[in-house]
Structure 1
Amino acid sequence: MFKSRKKKDKKQYKLVSPGDEVLAPCSQDVYRKAIVISYQEIRNIPTLRIRFKTGNMNFVSAQLCYKIVKGIAVPLEKPKTKIQRLCLWFLRRFGLAEV
């Protein structure tokens, strides 16, 4: 009579937490180290509030930022391809990233 609806996976994908350092775009083709102040979702887009060492505070899409884990730049967006998922699985499996 009634069709059952599939529950969506509502787990938030977060690779960073407040206080972590990320590489964030500060101008065209220039990335600098920044400290994450907060993590928010604005209109279903993961957004970071960051502070550069100069004191500037900005809101930046997490899709544009990277985190350095053991010398490897890891994108902060949710992995969409199988190769990205595999790379993150390896990082987590061997304890290189804490999620």
Structure 2
Amino acid sequence: MTIHVNIGEAKTRLSELLAAAARGEEVIVNKAGVPFATLVPTPEAMAMARDSRAAKRRAAFGCLAEKYKDHPPEAFDVPLSMTNEDYQARIARKLK
């Protein structure tokens, strides 16, 4: 999703816009209706955010960490419930 804001609005919503950019949204600051600048996170900020999310997941695992410590990380991957082709076929059946 792309967010377009003018300079005045960007001044008042800077924290919110920076958070949106850190989430991966494109934030474009306009001056007199013309795109003037784009907010993008630095690679270091992206790495810090990724590490923070990983730490929260590890903390949430919490009490079960000892029980599953010997399992490889791949053991916790959840397989897709259906393929894209299956999904498209299901939608086609519902729309008939």
- TM-score normalized by structure 2? 0.23
Larger Rg: 2
The structure in which a higher percent of residues are helix is: 2
The structure in which a higher percent of residues are strand is: 1
